[in-house]
Structure 1
């Protein structure tokens, strides 16, 4: 680890590694330092370096900034923008206006990434971070992939199954073709509906950690989840524009940014006391 960085506390952990709140000794600026554990072969490390260098160039107010990448002692260190409000996992938005603002910010980030030929492939509440200013940003490109100019299908089995699109889980659907951008929109729609309902939207008893078979059947074959009748027609249509089993029927991020639901967006004033402060997966 660089000597000019001081670890303060652990703020998150997962299968891929650990995230530390870190301070730059000279400037006092705070960062999130993601440490990826394990010894990876050199080809994997080269690929990670190539992808992270491209992601370092990402410049969007709705995408968590990557400030640096270090490979030392068998571990990989990624220096990231620190989001002091943590993730939106477990958060419920009863106000459609605030939810519209969250959706607008995430879509802005997705539209930017998709224009750059980057798909995230793991959009979910825990990868959407907020800060005290109410800014929501897309995080964790550990499973992201840079698309070639041909927009080749993304075939590797990464991501979180609960938020995966039907055609990604079951490759027999959609004649085996997969558009990563459309897959991101499905995951985004599931996440936004979860924020509104306060629960995972596939079934009353089926949670995000359900067994693989039950989740697959629900996502690929059960009735599509919808916003309840108490929601506005605009929100119901917005969710329906994301949660279509046929990828070609889902609106793109650019089109969704022009959806009438977003016209009611009001600035998000995060209640940080109800968020898991500091957590960055």
Structure 2
């Protein structure tokens, strides 16, 4: 039997009952009145709620405290600069927080839904490719702006599913349903300094086991840190479960991230990633996982190289 998937960390609108006590009136841009509905996400610095305004269902991300206001405003400016990328959540405006398009589920919640249906335990090959490819295109747009996301994970990928004709009447999902996914939550994104290809060492940011080894060790990092997270997510989509918990790796084995100047650092805690063993795993996906999960970040692929590998899923 497949391993039990982690319980969702928040409840989406289609999974929880409506609570009338959470309804508030407030003004959105243009003077339109809105109903603030259920909470659909929260983090250290912000809370995300669904709102209904002018016939449109959207989401608003508001800072928890006054000290978080600058952080959320910086995220808003970055997301506005990425408006041309259709694989990143679209920003609609600002009203005491980021007003953005609403998508019903995170990828984490969607995977739990898949496992809850009798006889359905996997995403289809096409659905995995759509999700990973959309993520890579979103990261490509972000990296062009010289930013590293640092917190790529299933919770920060939002999905909307177009049900096929057979699933529409019964409200389920199958391999024929179309999955649209978009990257969100850029609060931890940092800019790579001009004339550099890496960012100086900083505080530990991210979520295990998605965090790249060099970030885990508080060493300098590059865009390749996001590619490590892509590799972990690809394993998660194939196995329908997260890899095992991190464990210590001995220095004698030499599994240490390298600094840009070639010096080694560590020891660090690395995630033990079990590669998919199922023969149905496409060769392109296996190659992508192996390439992204290189301990030495200089050996990981760029977004363009990773896209070439995932596009080979249907060519091979």
User: For the structure 1 residues 45 and 112, does the alpha-carbon distance in structure 2 shift closer, same or farther, using more than 3 Å as the test?
Assistant: same
CA deviation after TM superposition for structure 1 residue 132, in Å = 2.9
* Larger proportion of helix: 1
Any residues of structure 2 matched to 1:84-233 within 5 Å, and which?
A: 84=104, 86-89=105-108, 91=111, 93-133=122-162, 134-151=179-196, 152-153=198-199, 155-171=202-218, 176-179=219-222, 181-202=223-244, 206=245, 215=246, 217=248, 220-221=269-270, 224-230=273-279, 231-233=281-283
TM-score under structure 2 normalisation? 0.68
1:16-68 deviation line (CA, Å, top 9, x unaligned): 3322111223xx1111111221231xxx6445434422321212111011222
* Residue equivalent to 2:88: 63
TM normalised by structure 1 equals 0.75
Bigger relative contact order, structure 1 or 2 (CA pairs below 8 A, ≥6 apart): 1
Q: Does 1:255 align with 2:280?
A: no
Change (3 A) 1:98 1:50: closer
> How far off its partner does 1:12 sit?
2.6
Deviation at 1:221, TM superposition (A): 5.0
Partner deviation per Cα, 1:50-101 (whole Å, 9 max, x = no partner): 4422321212111011222344xxxxx21111112x1111516442222112
Cα distance, 1:35–1:221 mapped onto 2, change above 3 Å: closer
Question: Which runs of structure 1 show a deviation greater than 6 angstroms over 4 or more consecutive aligned residues?
Answer: none
For structure 2, the 5+ residue unaligned runs are 1-25, 112-120, 163-178, 250-267
Q: Could you tell me how far 1:157 is from its partner in structure 2?
A: 2.5
Aligned residues: 238
CA-atom RMSD, angstroms?
Answer: 2.5
Q: Which has the larger radius of gyration?
A: 2
